[in-house]
Homo-oligomer: A and B are copies of this chain.
Amino acid sequence: MPATIDDVARLAGVSTATVSRALRGLPNVAPATRDRVARAANLLDYVPDPAASALAAGRTNVIGVVVPTIGRWSHARILEVVSDIATTAGLDVLPVMLASPAARDFFLTSHPFRRRVDGLVVAEVPLDVTDVARLAEGRPVATIGLELDDVDTVLADEQAGVAAATRHLLDLGHTDITFIGDTDSTATLVGPRRRREGFESVLAAAGHPTSGDRVVETQPTATGGAAAMTLLLEQPRPPTAVITASDEMALGAMEVARARGLSIPGDLSVVGLDDQPIAQYVGLTTVARDVTRMATVAADWVVAAVAAMETPGEGVAAVPARHRMVRTSLVVRRSTGPPAMVVDDRDGDSRGDLD
């Protein structure tokens, strides 16, 4: 049986209250006493029982992290960063993966975090204010990728990033560009919509049509990207460039193109999103999001709020919500280049491309 606080108190010759104070570094403990307690605890290999602490203090020292899955690099990275920061602050992490809408619904109605966490980070899961409030139940919460007025949020400026990518392709001479976006857009999960807007605004400004047939939507996975590219290549006039909503999609699209005998970037330019480590090693041009920074900001907020909290659950101070926008940047590698020469006007198709 592991040692308890009583064992330490007995060995140090003090009360359990003093042991508790001494070990947690609380004020009003004589240096000599603190020392004696520390030595006793050390001798006994004493580790406080987190359950007992949680029950007595009303705080769990755990923060919840909600992500869609960890199959996508950015989600795994968010979990990793939050976990690092939490650990440094002496907190544990409770990861929750909500891949399916069913999982989401069940999760929302089961009060999963009640009495389980002191605060939480919610990343890229399509939830509205009501959902987030239901999860948080008054505890500090920060979201990543969600736009919610009354909640702390961290967003990447993906609109600007995709706009830069679109300009890059136009500058290279492309006129047939398709955006392969992801489907999970909701009012609050703004990334998908913002990316699309970045794409369409640049095309419009350049005098290109921005009709729906320049946008395809699918899952943000390699499989999704491959499926979308397959569709596009069946069109009479496939695009010479695609911008995708994730590096994974970009890789899927590239593979399908290659399998069809197209060369990249000769026959098809491809742009990803995230700049995960692998992107560099496959030469992928991509819109870099600083996922590490986003996760760091969100985690720091939550950790600070939890630390500042007297008793969790009694509500967070009603300060105005913070909204942080993290810059994106276009990283040009070898998956984009000028389109192949167009030798003729093709079959009289007269869509209003730039000339």
A60 proximity list for chain B (CB < 8 A): 51
Contact between chains at B92 and A94 (CB < 8 Å): yes
Please tell me if A209 contacts chain B, counting CB pairs below 8 Å. no
Query: Chain B's nearest CB lies how many Å from the CB of A138?
Result: 10
Contact between chains at B313 and A1 (CB < 8 Å): yes
Contact between chains at B80 and A277 (CB < 8 Å): no
Which one, B51, B80, B280, B313, contacts A115 given CB within 8 A? B51
Q: Using A71-B76, A93-B95 as known contacts, say yes or no to A115 and B55 having CB atoms under 8 A apart.
A: no
Which one, B71, B221, B313, contacts A80 given CB within 8 A? B71
Q: Using A70-B70, A277-B71 as known contacts, say yes or no to A84 and B97 having CB atoms under 8 A apart.
A: yes
Q: Which residue of B lies closest to A333 (CB)?
A: B255
Contact between chains at B282 and A251 (CB < 8 Å): yes
Task: Tell me the chain A residues, 250-288 only, with Cβ under 8 Å from chain B.
Answer: 251-252, 254-255, 258, 277-278, 280-283
Contact between chains at A248 and B278 (CB < 8 Å): yes
Count copies of this chain in the complex: 2
Please tell me if A47 contacts chain B, counting CB pairs below 8 Å. yes
A54 proximity list for chain B (CB < 8 A): 51
Q: Which residue of B lies closest to A247 (CB)?
A: B278
A254 proximity list for chain B (CB < 8 A): 281-282
Please tell me if A39 contacts chain B, counting CB pairs below 8 Å. no
Please tell me if A207 contacts chain B, counting CB pairs below 8 Å. no
Please tell me if A13 contacts chain B, counting CB pairs below 8 Å. no
A50 proximity list for chain B (CB < 8 A): 51, 115-116
3 closest A-B pairs by beta carbon, nearest first, are A51-B54, A255-B281, A251-B281
11 intermolecular pairs with C-beta atoms under 8 Å apart: A2-B111, A47-B114, A50-B116, A71-B76, A71-B77, A80-B97, A94-B94, A222-B278, A248-B281, A251-B278, A255-B280
